[in-house]
Amino acid sequence: MARKAPPQSDGGFTSLELDARLIEMLTVLGYEEPTPIQREAIPPILAGSDVIGQAATGTGKTAAFALPILQRIVGFGDKRGKPTVLVLVPTRELATQVAEAMHKYGRPLGVNVLPIYGGQAYGPQLRALKQGVDIVVATPGRALDHIRRKTMPLAGIRIVVLDEADEMLDMGFADDIESVLSETPAERQTVLVSATLPPRISSIAERHLKDPVRIRIAGEQTGDGELPRIRQMAYIVHRSHKPAALGRILDVENPTSTIVFCRTRTEVDELSETLTSRGYRSEPLHGGMSQDQRTRVMKKLRAGAADLIVATDVAARGLDIPQLSHVINYDVPNAPESYVHRIGRVGRAGREGVAITLMAPREHRMLRDFERVTKQKIETARVPTVADLHAKRLELTRASIREALLSDNLDSYRPVVESLCDEFDLVEIALAAIKIAHTATGADGDDAEEIPAPAPDSSSDAVVRRGAPRDGGGGKKFGGKFSGKPRGPSAGAARLYVAAGRDAGVRPQDLVGAIAAEAGLKGRDVGAIEIADRFSLVEVPEADAEKVIKALRAGTIRGKKVAVRRDQREG
């Protein structure tokens, strides 16, 4: 039987008539006061009512349904052993997070929780279900799969939770949700929680919930035209300069934890590799990775072994990254709603955050749409200059020295200073010490280059078109377009991606020479060549494409092995 905590009038969790063991566990975990959604949702869920709860992500919705459900499970008594609660969530990551939270809260009650999602082997799931669990946290597809296999008994289900219902519908799970709900007992309690309640959610609620208690927690009140605690900025930069611009911005912003959004899996992998090569602790996350790979990434992030995730929108759904300080749109989102969803990951639960967008000149007009939906002016800024970077690094050095001065543990170095004072001025000694401290961090490296600012109406990057007449084998330069959505290859040609560009010293003649030497094509067979900082694009006859790829992979360009493949971006 549940043991209720003694009543108190402090308005804390004890006022919600929760089991004393849950209260004790919350105290151990550092919870002090219930959030608004918890205060409003816990009593009706405890009473067995159906509930529709609407509140922003990051406001404590998981605990709002988990705590009363855990207490209700204890009251079910002899029905323990087979699943009595089914929680449906949109993503693998959220399944893991919710299961971990419910296990953590319910540890003193002896409640067993099992996460089930695609990408896992069936064996461990089947063994756990056979041994007996109280709560199953599942993605809709995998839950339906077990139901059809008759490996997850539903006869004992007393409570169903639809967590992040709007995201599940956005990801195409509407039919799966309907199928799962139709398989659970009609006399059940249903709890639906969501950040938004579009018409499709309301339709599901009307069909499957009985006289639900409706709870809506309004967002943080702010003044007109102000998005809660999020500083929004946009940098206008050519696509070929985006990697360098991103690195410069990261150096100047010095974020605690960051998500960088890209549009495709290929871009995620390439950008993450580029950032890692530049010294950032970056990890990729996208739908093409195995579940083991995704799990390792999240473990690194939680352990502090990574502080930057490069992700696609779908892969990032359901992620709750502790202390996330920055969201960076490396690729501009396709719709204003996607922009709002991305940047809403910072500024949660009262924390401040920064949202940064890198935009090609032709994308500048989209700022108006983003400002309209956020009701906030988005500052347009120039990419930090080398001088800005140096100033920021000097400021970090100053802060480190100030911290050392406040530590009051410097006496062992006093003899060094006193001996130098006989020969040099004290200020000069301090300047020399600061120089050593500053350069020791590598802050004065000479690799920083200015990133050119594009003209407001320009969208062109460096392009080289092959054609007559030649200029030392380099081709003729044109002001063609080479932006986020490149033009397609010429008729009858295939466009190849070569993972080396200007930064590696690659010139058009290097590519032509390598193709001629390694693949046996003539120079005139090579079409348009486009060279960016980190990669190059080259057109070759479609009939010879595979031969050229194989030959270039086996050979070298400017003495180095490079990756070569068909360009996978849209034409």
Altogether, the residues listed in the chain come to a count of 571
Average pLDDT over the chain, rounded to an integer = 79
Nearest in space to 196 (alpha carbons), one of 174, 217, 222: 217
Q: What is the pLDDT of residue 412?
A: 84
pLDDT, mean of residues 434-442: 72
User: CA torsion sign, 350 to 351 to 352 to 357?
Assistant: negative
What pLDDT is attached to residue 450? Answer: 66
Name the strands in the sheet holding 159-163, side by side, starting at the edge strand that comes first in the sequence: 113-116, 135-138, 85-88, 159-163, 189-194, 51-54, 213-216
Q: Please determine, for residue 9, whether its predicted confidence score (pLDDT) is greater than 70.
A: no
Sequence-distant (≥ 6) Cβ neighbours of residue 316 within 8 angstroms: 259, 261, 285, 309, 345
Higher pLDDT, 191 or 79: 191
Kindly state the helix (H) or strand (E) to which residue 285 belongs, with its residue range.
Answer: strand 282-285
pLDDT in tens, 201-222: 888 999 999 999 999 986 544 4
CA separation (Å) from 442 to 128, 388, 394, 405, 437?
A: 52, 16, 12, 22, 9
What is the Cα–Cα distance from 452 to 457, expressed in whole angstroms?
A: 14
Cis peptide before 469 (omega within 30 of 0): yes
Between 414-421 and 426-440, two packed helices, what is the crossing angle to 10 degrees?
130
Q: What would the two tokens of residue 423 be?
A: 């020969």
Classify domain 463-566 at the CATH class level. Answer: alpha beta
pLDDT over threshold 90, residue 388:
no
Rounded CA separation 184/44 (Å): 21
- Of the candidates 538, 550, 549, which has an alpha carbon nearest to the alpha carbon of residue 493? 538
CB 285 within 8 A of CB 268: yes
Q: Which residue has the higher pLDDT, 452 or 296?
A: 296
Give pLDDT, residue 301: 78
pLDDT digits 0-9 by tens, 76-106: 865 566 899 999 998 887 888 899 889 999 8
Interhelix angle 20-28/61-75, nearest 10 degrees = 140
Q: Across 82-96, 118-132, 300-314, 553-567, which has the greatest mean pLDDT?
A: 82-96
Whole-Å CA distances, 550 to 518, 531, 534, 563: 9, 21, 21, 10
Q: What integer is the mean pLDDT of 331-338? A: 79
Residue 479 — pLDDT band, cuts 50, 70, 90? very low
Side-chain half-sphere CA neighbours of 171 within 13 A: 22
pLDDT confidence tier of residue 52, bands split at 50, 70 and 90? very high
**Across residues 299-321, what is the average pLDDT?**
77
- φ, ψ of residue 425 to 5 degrees: the values are -70, 145
Cα distance between residue 9 and residue 560, in whole Å: 72
User: What are 231's strand-pairing partners?
Assistant: 354
Where exactly are the structural domains of the chain? Answer: 13-216, 230-385, 396-440, 463-566
The alpha carbons of the chain give a radius of gyration, in whole angstroms, of 29
Q: Please report which confidence band the pLDDT of residue 113 belongs to, taking 50, 70 and 90 as the band edges.
A: very high
Please answer whether residues 164 and 89 qualify as being in contact, where contact means their C-beta atoms are separated by less than 8 angstroms.
yes
Residue-level pLDDT at 77: 67
DSSP string, 358-405: EE-GGGTTHHHHHHHHHTSPPEEEPPP-HHHHHHHHHHHHHHHHHHHH
Classify domain 230-385 at the CATH superfamily level. Answer: P-loop containing nucleotide triphosphate hydrolases (3.40.50.300)
DSSP 240: G
Task: Give 362's contacts (C-beta < 8 A, 6+ positions apart).
Answer: 459, 483
Q: Do domains 230-385 and 463-566 have the same CATH topology?
A: no
Q: Which CATH superfamily is domain 13-216 in?
A: P-loop containing nucleotide triphosphate hydrolases (3.40.50.300)
- pTM here is 0.49
pLDDT at 372: 83
Mean pLDDT for the stretch of residues 564-569: 79
Report how far apart, in Å, the C-alpha atoms of 224 and of each of 56, 131, 210, 377, 384 are: 19, 56, 38, 11, 30
On the question of pLDDT at 480 being above 60, the answer is no
Instruction: Pick the range with the lowest mean pLDDT from 311-320, 475-484, 533-542.
Output: 475-484
Across 488-514, average pLDDT: 80
Please compute the mean of the pLDDT values over residues 249-257 and round it to a whole number: 85
Interacting residues of 458 by C-beta distance below 8 A, sequence separation 6+: 361
**CA angle, 479 then 480 then 482, to 5°:** 120
Spell out the long-range contacts of 565-570 with Cβ–Cβ below 8 A and sequence spacing 24 or more: 565/496, 565/497, 566/494, 566/495, 566/496, 566/497, 567/486, 567/489, 567/495, 567/496, 567/497, 567/537, 568/264, 568/266, 568/497, 569/264, 569/266, 569/485, 569/486, 570/485
- pLDDT for position 474: 36
Band the pLDDT of 410: cuts 50, 70, 90: confident
* 124-153 per-residue burial string, b: 16 or more CB within 10 A, e: under 16: ebeebbeeebbbbbbbbebbbbbbeeeebe
CA distance 269 to 256: 22
